[in-house]
Structure 1
Amino acid sequence: MLRPFYFLLLLTLGITQLSACAQSATDKPAGAPVAVRPGQPLPWLDSLLTASPILRLHQVGMSLAYADSARPFYGYQETKYFTPASNMKLFSLYAGLHILADSLPSLRYFSRNDTLFFQGTGDPTLLHGDVPSRRAYSFLLNRPERTLAYCDIATVAPFGPGWTWDDYGYYFQPERAAFPIFGNTVRFYATPPAPVRAGTRPAVAPQSRIRVLPRYFAPLVGPAPAELRTPGLDTDTHIIRALHENRFYVLPTVKKWVDETPFVTSRGLMLRLLGDTLRRATSNAVWRPRPAQGDSIRTLYGLRVDSLYRRMLRVSDNFLAEQLLLMCSTKIGRRDSLSTGRVIRYARKNLLGTLPDPVLWVDGSGLSRLNLITPRTLTGLLLKLHQELPERRLLSLLAAGGGQGTLRKRYHDAAGPWVWGKTGTLSNNLNMCGYLRTKSGRLVAFTFMNNNHVAESGTMRNEVERVLAQVRARL
């Protein structure tokens, strides 16, 4: 039995220790970084999302997880479905990482007598203006066969399900194809007119001089008639294309600008563009290899995959994302078609089974509003990517705050990037997901979705940045 003196001494020491712990907790400054356990409430973050006069007018969802953990630790409406927009490109990336090798399949071919028969695989890099590869070009240019014969392959429709039809003329919606060339777009380069000498009055108002690439389309370019110069046009619109044909109309301007407009694809046009570029006759043929007679089908590989992934994710290139799934389809199932749906079905069955919720996935780019996903599922994909890729490689593929890509003008810090992400924007929808480095040094995978907002895009981006900056400071 303890003597009274020792009992009182132990009791006094215990009370002192408890008081010290309580004082330490009280002295901790508000908002200081803390480690959060799964399921632990974060009332300050709840308040940021629910009390904001901007966020409370629309649908908001958020999911957070430490990148080295197995599951999210915070969620707000994380089980509800949202339109993800270009966040879907992360699913296309994941499919590519698991299906493609380290280089893109550029074309399939076999040789018979004096003819090279070749077929498209969906590779978008042939003479592309931003991710150009000369591998297929040099291969076709230097083949010893007298005849180059392009062979059709069944391919998905030029536009995906749920795409907005009247976006056909904008740079972000080129047509999908088995054998793209020049990125399936025409590029226009405008330079200001020469200065008018003092005291002279030209008979015609000076206009910017226009250079067109590929030059094949130059005769199809002309000034916009008065009926196309509607007041509602965006000030950044310089080119208007006819709906169903390759006729391009230039709006009057005296500024320097660069614009890009999709062209209407067809087999005949592709053959003409390819023949003009190679300066070799290119004909059309039927793909009928005869293995018994020695026809050996081979695949030509081109650009390293990370070059495409990096461009696709950093600037949110829709065309590259769509063509990526077509290339993936050459590796699974049937070889007689290029099918986006086949890749999506394969990925959902074989690659995404551990995600929390089913993914409603219809295209590679996220252009379609038929895509639907929950915030916690997108965060789950971010966790899988972090587990399967070296962190340095993974972050290098994404836009970096204050650095490059769609985040280059935001999330600045003199010490360097603290957020790496993928934006997802459609009219009235502004989403963002990725990874952020907290003040305490931990990497957090985050998904922040905003659907059906009525605020201006700039206002929404400011609010998203304000909330994520608080997450960075307080975790």
Structure 2
Amino acid sequence: MPLFHLVCRALAVGFFWVLTLPVCAQVAPATTVPAPAANPAWLDQLLHESPVLRQHNVGVCLTDATTGTKVYELNANKYFTPASVMKLFSLYTGLHMLSDSLPSLHYVVRHDSLIFWGTGDPTLLHGDVPSRRALDFLRTRPEKLFYAEIPSVTAYGPGWTWDDYNYYFQPERGPFPIYGHTVRFYATAGKPRPRVYPRFFRALTEPIAPGTPNPADDHVRRPELENRFAFFPITKNWVDETPFRTSQPLLLQLLQDTLHRPVLPVAFRLRAQDSVRVVHGLPVDSLYRRMLQVSDNFLAEQLLLMCSSRLGQDSLSAIRPIRVMRTLFLANLPDAPHWVDGSGLSRLNLVTPRTMVALLLKLHQEVPEKRLLSLLAAGGGHGTLRRVYRDSRGPWLWGKTGTLTNNHNLVGYLRTRSGRLLAFSFMNNNHVVTTTEVRREIERVLTQVRERL
């Protein structure tokens, strides 16, 4: 993948930086927003007369992905809570800031000591996108190992829901993740205890007190501020992921247990003579694909931190790459997004339907279509859309869902019967019916779009 050198004065950050960035394909000229075409009357009728959609805020934008011609707009300039469709912004950031492989760790060698620190790479012994490259590197080095923890983000992002700490979709962020910052429990009906991975947490896992109410139908619970885990009686097979609380002492313990050699803490301080090196990990698409298809929040958050590591090795920040992207690559969006995290967990994120489509057009211009569509969930195929938009002849819709309580959105690309590829954004905020009802209505409308456009 060719590289070019980008030099920018980052006023918002307050320093000059130089960065080598990959080009996904020849970058197209700045995206323009053509005047909207007359909305098809039948589509207006479908949306306005829907008993499901009429009760909440709906925004729709349809655009020809090849020509950029507007096909339909409804409240396309209004801001909506996007939820996980914000992961497309994280993808675009990664495509511009990372090379073909993930940066796994930084290190310097000083005499008989190897000092290493994190880049935010989330794949070390991750349960779904596992990598052992950093581990194998550290295991085989002859030097003494020292871990330096650099300044990084808080465990949770701005506007995240604090009482979701117990659930798989909200692990803590950090500079050097291990095991995806979660504990996995594998329960088998008839057995008294689940299997626990990593084994370190087995001694911290106990049966829950008899008679404890379980209105949320949880399998495992953890106190908010402790790494103690309690499981409910096992009456059927299940698998559960519960985040653990992160800390430097815990990380060092887990590393030592895995490497079978000492790892000591050291204060982070680069010297003028230090030659900082990087250990490369998995191909980037392995992370992008998992992040988008199953909507993995942790991978999305850590992706921004890896991008931050390309902007400076002394700290990790989610805001720094966001500022750079907004200034250098996304300044010409129709409406500036209010963008605060990588996953979309925060309700502080706000974006308009036409801006989401403008981002889709940029992606389609800069990334080969086959690769781009392969990263997304596919209707009737895989990911969050595997049970909907089915066709025995193959996928016709590829997209990214975004769901928070009372909000459900879908953005992506659809192929019409006539062969057109449309970029679309269909956003639903503040609905009081079930998410299932909203999903079905979106499918009903987009199926008609496929048939008639």
Shorter-chain TM-score above 0.5: yes
Separation in structure 2 between the aligned mates of residue 426 and residue 226 of structure 1, nearest angstrom: 33
The amino acid across from 1:233 in the alignment is A
Shift of 1:354: 1.7
Task: Select 1:125's aligned residue among 123, 126, 135.
Answer: 123
Aligned CA-pair RMSD: 1.3
1:460, distance to aligned residue in structure 2 (A): 1.4
Q: Give the counterpart of 2:416 among 438, 442, 454.
A: 438
- Tell me the distance in 1 between the aligned counterparts of 2:369 and 2:314: 37
- Give the Cα–Cα distance (whole angstroms) in 1 for the partners of residues 223 and 302 of structure 2: 24
Task: Find the counterpart in structure 1 of residue 379 from structure 2.
Answer: 401
Aligned residue among 228, 233, 246 for 2:216: 233
Distance 1:433 1:289 in 2: 44
The equivalent residue for 2:18 is none
Structure 1 residues 384-429: Cα deviation after superposition (integer angstroms, max 9, x where no partner): 1000010000000000011100001111101000100000000010
TM-score norm. by structure 1 comes to: 0.87
Which of the residues 294, 300, 316 maps onto 1:315? 294
Identity %: 62
Stretches of structure 1 lacking an aligned partner (at least 5 in a row): 1-36, 194-206
Total equivalences in the alignment: 420
Q: Which runs of 4+ in 1 moved over 4 A?
A: none
How far does residue 41 in structure 1 lie from its aligned partner after superposition?
A: 2.5
Q: Does the CA-based 8 Å contact 1:314-1:405 persist in structure 2? A: yes
Which residue of 2 is the match for residue 50 of structure 1?
Answer: 48
Q: Matches of residues 38-437 of structure 1 in structure 2 within 5 Å?
A: 38-145=36-143, 147-193=144-190, 207-226=191-210, 228-230=212-214, 232-234=215-217, 237-292=218-273, 295-332=274-311, 334-437=312-415
Q: Give the superposition deviation at 1:209.
A: 3.3
SS for the counterpart of 1:117 is strand
Distance 2:151 2:213 in 1: 39
Contact conserved, 2:193 with 2:234, CA < 8 A, in 1?
A: no
Pair member with larger Rg: 1
Post-superposition offset of 1:278 = 0.7
Partner AA of 1:215 in structure 2: R
Q: Which has the higher helix share?
A: 1
Q: In 2, distance between residues paired with 1:288 and 1:123?
A: 21
- The Cα offsets for residues 158-216 of structure 1, whole Å up to 9 and x where unpaired, read as 000000000000000000000000000000001121xxxxxxxxxxxxx5531000000
- Partners of 2:132 and 2:450 lie apart in 1 by 43
The answer to whether the 8 A contact 1:167-1:173 is kept is: yes
Conservation of the 8 A alpha-carbon contact between 2:117 and 2:149: yes
Deviation at 1:144, TM superposition (A): 1.0
Gaps of 5+ in 2: 1-34
Instruction: Output the CA distance in 1 between the equivalents of 2:421 and 2:89.
Output: 21
Cα deviations by residue, 1:409-453 (Å, 9 ceiling, x for unpaired): 111101000100000000010000000010111111000000010
The aligned amino acid for 2:58 is: V
SS in 1 for 2:356: helix
Write the letter of the residue equivalent to 2:163: D
Question: Residues 228 and 362 of structure 1: is their aligned pair in 2 closer, same or farther, counting only changes over 3 Å?
Answer: farther
User: Does the aligned pair in 1 maintain the 2:60–2:74 contact within 8 Å?
Assistant: yes
2-structure distance, mates of 1:428, 1:239: 26
Q: Which amino acid aligns with 2:116?
A: F
Cα deviation digits, residues 307-351 of structure 1 (max 9, x gap): 00000000000000000000000112x431100011111111011
Measured after TM superposition, the shift of residue 253 of structure 1 is 2.2
Task: Give 1:80 deviation, angstroms.
Answer: 0.3
